[in-house]
Amino acid sequence: MLATGTAPEFAPPADPALARFPLFETRDVDEARVRGAQVFCDHKLQLLDRHSSIDARMCFKRLRGVGIGRMTYGAHVAVEPGCLEDFLLVQMPLSGAEILRSGDIVVNSSRRIATVASPQRPFSLRHEAGTEKLFVRIDRDVLERHCLQHLGHALRQPLEFRLDMPLDTAAGQQWMRALRWLVAELDSVADGEVITSRYPLLAAQFEQMLISMLLVCQPHNYSEQLQADAPSIAPAFVKRVERYIEDNAHEPLTIVDLAAHAGVSSRSLFAGFKRYRDTTPMLHLREVRLRRVREALLEGRPGQTTVTSEAMRWGFSHLGHFTAAYKRRFGESPSETLARG
C-alpha cells in the first residue's frame, strides 16, 4: 500500500524553526543514536552510504506531555525503533524525504505527506540525505487521557492513528497551521523556560490545543465516536465570550478576562471553545483582530495608513509573525490589501 499526495499550500519557514532550543549536533553515529534516544526511545541507527558522514542536529522543546522538535541526520540512514510504546510521533519533512514502513504499509513522506506513528505499532524508517523535519512527540498516557475526556468513557482498545497524514487536505493544513503557530510562539519567547516554569497554565493550553487538533484532524479508531458524540449547539458561555471579543477586541484581553466575563474557569472556557468551535479563545481573538486589521487596510489610503500602525493598534507587535499569519488567513500580504484599498 503506497500513500501519496499533492503539494500543500505552505512552505518551510525562512528562519530555522526552534533554533533557540538546540539539543545536540554531532558527526558521530553512536552519539546521534544515544542523544536521539533521550528524546525518543532506544533504536538502531545505521549509516547506509559508507562514503558519506552523518551530520545529525536536533532542536527540541518540551511542553508538559508534548515535545516539539526539528532535526536532520544529514545523511542517508536507516532507523529501527520497533514499537514506540510510551509515545506517539508525528513527523513532517520540511525538505527531502523519508520512507516509513509498518507491516505491508509504505508511506513516502515528504513536504506533501506526514507520518503518524502510534505507540503500539512497529515501524522502520529510511531517512534520505538532505532531509530535515519537524516532529511532535506526545506522551501516550497524556494522549489517551485527552481522548478519554473527549469521549466521556474509557478506551476499550489502544488508540491507533492512520499512518499517513496528507498535508494538502483541509485537515492536514489545519494541523500544520496550528503547529506553525505554536512553533512561532515558542520562537518569539526570549527564554524558552518561561512558558513551562512561570506560565504552567499556558503550557497546559498549548498541550491541549495540539492534542485536540490531532484527534480532530487525523483519522483514528475513535474518530467516528468523537464526531457522533459532538453536540452541535455551543453553550451560552461560549457565545457570550464570542460577543465580548467582537465588542472589545481593541482591549488588552487575557484568557482570565474572558473567563471572568463568561463566569467559568479558564479551563472550562478553553475546553468549550475546543469542543464547540475547534479553536481556542485566544486564537479566536487573534482571528477577530486580523479581520479588524484587514478592514482598516481596505478602508485606508497608501501614504496615510500604514501596515505597521494598524498591526500595532490591534496588538500585533511582531510584524514578521503578523504578516505570515495575515497571508495564511487572507491569501495576500497586508501591503497588497492596503494597495487595493
Domains and CATH numbers, the chain: 2-217 (2.60.120.10), 231-341 (1.10.10.60)
Q: How many CB atoms lie within 10 A of CB 271?
A: 17
Most confident stretch, 166-175, 195-204, 269-278, 321-330: 166-175
How long is the chain?
A: 341
Distance CA 323, CA 10 (A): 14
**Integer distance in angstroms from the first to the last C-alpha of the chain?**
50
Mean pLDDT of 239-251: 92
Mean pLDDT of 186-208: 67
CB 149 within 8 A of CB 204: no
CB 131 within 8 A of CB 70: no
Higher pLDDT, 133 or 10: 133
Q: Which pLDDT does position 235 carry in this prediction?
A: 87
Mean pLDDT of 107-119: 95
CA torsion sign, 273 to 197 to 94 to 29?
negative
Beta-ladder partners of 72: 57
Lowest mean per-residue pLDDT among 43-47, 105-109, 119-123, 146-150 = 146-150
| CA proximity to 184, closest of 138, 139, 134, 111 | 134
Q: Which pLDDT does position 334 carry in this prediction?
A: 92
Confidence band of 94 (pLDDT split at 50, 70, 90): very high
Confidence band of 225 (pLDDT split at 50, 70, 90): confident
- Cα angle vertex 256, ends 251, 257, to 5°? 35
Helix/strand/coil percentages in the chain, nearest 5: 45, 25, 35
Confidence band of 13 (pLDDT split at 50, 70, 90): very low
Higher pLDDT, 234 or 30: 30
Distance CA 210, CA 191 (A): 21
Distance CA 177, CA 146 (A): 21
Looking at the predicted structure, is the pLDDT value of residue 200 above 80? no
- Cα angle vertex 85, ends 84, 89, to 5°? 40
Q: Which pLDDT does position 6 carry in this prediction?
A: 42
* 34-66 as b/e: b if 16+ CB within 10 A: ebbeebbbeeebebeeeeeebebbbbbbbbebb
Higher pLDDT, 188 or 271: 271
Lowest mean per-residue pLDDT among 23-27, 64-68, 185-189, 219-223 = 185-189
Taking only the tens place, the pLDDT of each residue in 282-322 is: 999 999 999 899 999 988 877 788 999 999 989 888 888 89
Confidence band of 197 (pLDDT split at 50, 70, 90): low
Looking at the predicted structure, is the pLDDT value of residue 193 above 60? no
Helix (H) or strand (E) holding 71: strand 66-72
Q: Which pLDDT does position 5 carry in this prediction?
A: 42
Say what the pTM is.
0.64
Distance CA 24, CA 6 (A): 33
